[in-house]
A and B are shown apart, each in its own frame.
Chain A
């Protein structure tokens, strides 16, 4: 216990946390503007007729035209976070608004949106607004040069978990032995300047697959170790810029690159802050007012510690929950999300729904285009929970008309990682009889290798 206590009483410079806050806030601010400018608010959250909810979060829906206000609040709070202006309120607002947006429709689920939610949740509990922040500049908040060391380590731990889980997820035969799905994706990049020709060679695809897995598994250790840190960071920049060129993954590469700066020592971050002082012409003493008082967590810090301990236990546990389900994880996707499984599959499907009026025996097919955007249809056709939710939507829609006693069946075919498409859902199963839960969905047909 002594060593644990002594670890938690260790302090360090608050400069790295300040730089992390600024970089994260600015990136999120840019990312909100980007999302808005691409017209995605309208496309994803205004246009569609229905939205796919996460199990347990059915009450979270887009807000019509007010959705724009939500994005505005989210973007503004990100800017406040960067500035360190009303930091606590800003980061709480950002976490809540961003997470709300993320939960509005699971069609747009991305691991890096989840990462943003997770980081911003963690930041609520860290004193990131106490140094080189607008608040401390104005004297409305005390400035601390020293904060508990575990505050910084918590962020490092989170980033390491992300890399390690992403790396472990790649240790499967598809990725390592078939080089799938890279073998589908990379050859289409042959027309890229300079590097395109590489993807003509099969061995190069394997090199990318193995290199990617190795990178994810090694880079946390390279970053943690002082002597290999620079090498690690060069790899971070190289790897993420490469993925930015090759794949449509938005802001994720930049988020990872800037986050990795946290691994550098405080002198490095202090230099950045000193540089910023000069550029912004802020007098040093203004942000250095109280030099030697170490940061003390408020009396609720016990509570904070418990919350964060639970948070990390969940972070470590969630990616393993797939083991509780039978069948092939990529096929059923039961326990797939929230686990840092990135770039692991290429999945395509086609689902034809049949509505049967049990009173008359009449039936008809559904034209999915009438209800779903092309993006929603693509996601729906390969994921059982989407298929079920859509069937229940169709039931509600069509049972309003003359027919009351309906059955709904789906004929769905899915192709996974270059295999020939096969039937995905039991076509005899009446989807109106199925309900979402954490239990295994027995009406998913078994995966045939």
Chain B
């Protein structure tokens, strides 16, 4: 069996000032090529888990391994962020550049690509997501659905090997939701989706996990099945 993409071993995490830990001796694994759905009630730690993987939060105890390497310091996570993409819950947090093309090219430029290549990658990514012609649109003037797709483009433009999506369907209409499903089905990288929508997960992931404070327990879920 190949090495897990993500391994969380005996993680303990408590938010400052909180009485209860979110995670206590939490263990989790994600295998290559896996498409996983994360479910659970509000506040059970789904977003926290993604933020721990990206190094936005640091556990009080435990080990996180990503692509087989242990990550501890900010320097390690800088490397992780080159290969793992995170789509935030709210696109307004993600899109901060004045125009769409600048926002999509922001990641590639940070990766050290020259401007001409960054623009080429940005255009290609946008084309793949059906966003051709959006280059000079002003980000704050986009509609909710457009903002979501552009946010996804900004993450995919970094050509990640693993994608984390935090409630990607919030506020989407039916048409945009379908576009998102098709986009995810065409992706050939591993991804994890936090979502409260069984219907959406049915179409996009093979397996669902319920997040608890100790572990992530697989739920009986098959594509096209009864859901979570």
A-B complex is real: no
Interface residues of A (CB under 8 A from B): none
